[in-house]
Amino acid sequence: MRIIFTEEDACMHIRARCMRGGLIKNYHKVKAFADNVDIPDPDIWFHGVSHLPERKDFSNLYKRLENFKGKLVLFQNNDELEFNVERVPESLVNKAVLILKAIWPSDSSKIHPLIRNKTGFLNPFLKPDRAIAGKDLLNRNVKISFYGAATSFSQYTRVEALRMLRDAGIPFEGGLCRDSTIPVEPPEDLLKPSIKKSEYLSLLGDTQISLALHGYNPLTFRLFESFSRRCLVIAQDLSDIRFVDCGLTPGLHYLSVKKDLSDLVERTRYYLEHPDEAQKIADAGFNHFRKYFQYSGVDLPQPLYREVVKTWSGIDMKQGSFTPFALGFRLILPLIHSL
């Protein structure tokens, strides 16, 4: 199957490159184009719509999309729960057979009526990472850790969460870091300097309980990063969203606390005092990550890819045609970081 991608900004590229890796891994012919020059007619055209306030003029490309005879898929990579329908002509929204995002609201009435019956998923908010089991929880030095920007799906809940733990006398490592992209200034009593990702992952490897608090939206990279280091993950309620979780289940793979954090101290204290129960859940979350979410480069895990394309009801994504060249390309996907 011949598939092409066009993208309106770098944010779209970040989300699409791993999907291209998954498609190539399944022997599809895939190519990305940076502009509207010499684009061939494919079977399926994926177009990434920018959500950024400053945009180029894409009117010529939109005309080409209007005249395209194959199947059109629109996707967006942003932290909002809604697809920005107003960013493209309504005729293109109507023409598209699929509208893709990493997350959608659980309540379908919150999805724009023009696209409500066309929604599908991209791979969720995770970055290439490998599973490192590390020490059992009882042998780790940090009881609880959290580093992040002072932003939240529900305003300031990260501030509230850390103050709740501190006021209850429960020790934690970390705090809130400044983020130049958002106007919220962390309170002085919780302000911490940013740390490198390598330092952060090393900290997780020595952490018993990792907090996955709501960020720009309820789903955060921290959820998957914490699974990858076999922490016991305590996540703020994710029931308002849907994403391709591959069966990730609260109570089995991680712990869920209420959105208002009213049970955070109680649940945290309980699992610090019951390490055998904490270890069992941490092990289950780690094994789930290792099976479904662990990858390097753009080599999207096959179980995750299959779950994603199951949601693409507007197109038939059977495996592509095997060729020696396609096999060779497939083998080097773990080494490729942009595609």
CA dist., res. 267 & res. 198, Å (int): 29
72 domain residue, yes or no: yes
pLDDT score for 153: 62
CB 65 within 8 A of CB 72: yes
Buried/exposed code over 157-188 (b: 16+ C-beta within 10 A; e: otherwise): bbbbbbebbeeeebebebbbbebeeeebebee
- What angle do the packed helices 275-292 and 302-309 form, to 10 degrees? 80
Q: Does 35 fall in a domain?
A: yes
Mean pLDDT value of segment 301-310: 96
Please check whether residue 70 lies inside any domain of the structure. Answer: yes
Same domain membership, residue 319 and residue 237:
no
Domain contains 152: yes
Lowest-pLDDT range, 205-209, 215-219, 237-241?
A: 215-219
Percentage above 90 pLDDT, the chain? 76
| Residue-range definition of the domain harbouring residue 119 | 2-125+297-335
In a domain, 244, yes or no: yes
- CATH code (residue 36): 3.40.50
pLDDT at 225 over 90: yes
Task: Quote the pLDDT of residue 155.
Answer: 61
pLDDT, tens only, 109-127: 999 999 999 999 999 988 8
pTM score, whole prediction: 0.94
- Residue 48 placed within a domain: yes
pLDDT of residue 326: 81
Ramachandran angles phi, psi of 249, nearest 5°: -130, 125
Tell me which of 314 and 35 has the higher pLDDT: 314
pLDDT of 272 above 70: yes
Residues facing residue 100 across a β-bridge: 75, 120
pLDDT at 38: 79
Tell me, yes or no, whether 153 and 245 share the same domain. yes
pLDDT digits (tens, 9 = 90+) for 157-170: 899 999 999 999 99
Residues 68 and 145 in one domain: no
The reply to whether 35 and 68 lie within a common domain is yes
Residue 286 and residue 310 share a domain: no
Q: What is the CATH number of the domain that holds 261?
A: 3.40.50.2000
| pLDDT above 70 as % of the chain | 98
pLDDT value at residue 255: 98
Same domain, residue pair 120 and 150: no
Q: Are residues 267 and 143 in the same domain?
A: yes
Domain finish residue from 292, 308, 327 = 292
Q: How confident is the model at residue 55, as a pLDDT?
A: 82
Tell whether 132 is covered by a domain: no
**Per-position b or e across 79-90, b if 16+ CB within 10 A of its CB:** bebebebebbee
Question: What's the pLDDT at 156?
Answer: 66
Mean pLDDT rounded to a whole number for the chain: 92
- 131 in a domain, yes or no? no
Residue 109 DSSP class:
G
131-152 tens-digit pLDDT:
999 999 999 999 999 999 887 6
Answer yes or no: is pLDDT of 3 > 80: yes
CA atoms of 335 and 293, how far apart (whole Å): 17
**Cα 223-260-76 angle, rounded to 5 deg:** 45
Q: Greater confidence, 154 or 159?
A: 159
DSSP annotation string for 140-186: -SEEEEEEEES--SSTTHHHHHHHHHHHTT---EEEEE--TTS-PPP
Residue 62 has which token pair?
Answer: 């939109």
Looking at the fold, whether 267 and 166 belong to one and the same domain comes out as yes
Q: Is the domain of 28 the same as that of 116?
A: yes
Q: Within this chain, do residues 162 and 247 fall inside the same structural domain, yes or no? A: yes
Number of domains composing the chain: 2
- Residue identified by tokens 């850390």 is 162
Predicted confidence band of residue 230 (pLDDT cuts 50, 70, 90): very high
Residues 158, 218: one domain? yes
pLDDT confidence of residue 80:
83
State pLDDT tens for residues 9-63.
Answer: 888 888 799 999 999 999 999 999 977 677 888 999 999 999 888 888 899 999 9
Opening angle at CA 14, ends 101 and 149, nearest 5: 85
Contacts of 334 (CB under 8 A, 6+ apart): 295, 296, 297, 299
* Least trusted range by pLDDT, from 72-76, 79-83, 238-242, 256-260: 79-83
**164/286 same-domain check:** yes
Identify the CA nearest to 6 among candidates 23, 42, 26, 298: 42
pLDDT of res. 19: 93
Which among 210, 280, 211 is positioned nearest to 252, based on CA atoms? 280
